Amino acid sequence: MESHAKLLGHPLHPILIVFPLGLLTASLGFDGGYFSTSNSEFAIVAFWTMAAGIIGGLIAAVFGAIDWAAIPHGTRARAIASWHGIGNAVVLLLFAASFGLRLGAPGHIPPPVATGVSGIGIALALVTGWLGGELVDRLGVGVDEGANLNAPNSLTGRPAAGSSTTRRVDRMA
């Protein structure tokens, strides 16, 4: 099934997610820079990259929700997409909490718990990123009109094409 939100023929959601993921990951790296050097400029950069990553994540979520709504109920793809979306909402909430912990701090210096929360957010983003890869690479969601929305899990070693669970969807309304 092809994406319902495209730009110049390419699905928007996978295009947009690289920015928030990169910014949120960079914010954790800048926290590391602050804690290893005590240079407060790292903390300020972490604060603003996190803010931009949260905003970018909210924008990417809109286009992900548009694509999610088009996936047929009762398919493996719909279940994976639901976990992907819920997990990424939790990632954004974790980073919003980390951001909030920095708001009142002088120079936006992160308390260690804020960096810990960011680390948990990145760990969860690795899982949700894998789920997103499963949707696109394995199931063809968003990129293939003849997507196999019930292909077996990529970890099974079974091929996605020709599976007895193949279910083709012609056009999504």
CA–CA dist 101, 168 (Å, integer) = 47
pLDDT for the residue numbered 138: 77
CA–CA dist 22, 64 (Å, integer) = 17
pLDDT string in tens for the chain (173-residue length)? 555 666 556 677 888 899 999 999 999 999 999 999 999 999 999 999 999 999 999 999 998 998 888 888 998 889 999 999 999 999 999 999 999 999 988 888 999 999 999 999 999 999 999 999 888 877 777 666 666 667 667 777 776 675 444 444 444 44
Residue 102: Cβ within 10 Å count: 23
Q: What is the pTM of this model?
A: 0.83
CA angle 144, 147, 149 (to 5 degrees): 145
